[in-house]
């Protein structure tokens, strides 16, 4: 919540540097994927799965924080 309230999805590739505008998704971010030596990647529920496999720097096992609201999901 807080600063992330209106954060948008940056998935599934991470959208960094010159690729920052390359993300097709403009849904609100619900998850934050922790990455090695990179800022956390904000993603919507649809792009959570793809981002874990496609974005660079994702840890394994994945470290994911819930930053938004998902109906039916209880942290």
Chain residues in the site for Zn ion (CB under 5 A): 9, 11, 25, 27, 44, 47
CB of 12 to Zn ion, least distance (A): 7
Q: How far is the CB of 60 from Zn ion (least distance, A)?
A: 21
- Closest distance to Zn ion from the beta carbon of 2 (Å): 20
Nearer to Zn ion, 34 or 46 (CB): 46
Do residues 14 and 47 touch, judged by C-beta distance below 8 A? no
**To the nearest 10°, the Cα dihedral for 48, 53, 59, 62?**
40
């Amino acid at each position: 919540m807080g600063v992330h309230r209106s954060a948008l999805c940056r998935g599934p590739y991470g959208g960094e540097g010159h690729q920052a505008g390359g993300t097709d998704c403009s849904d609100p971010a619900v998850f934050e994927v922790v990455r090695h030596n990179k800022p956390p990647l904000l993603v919507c529920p649809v792009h959570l799965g793809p981002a874990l496999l496609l974005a660079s720097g994702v840890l394994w096992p994945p470290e994911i924080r819930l930053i938004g609201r998902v109906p039916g999901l209880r942290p």
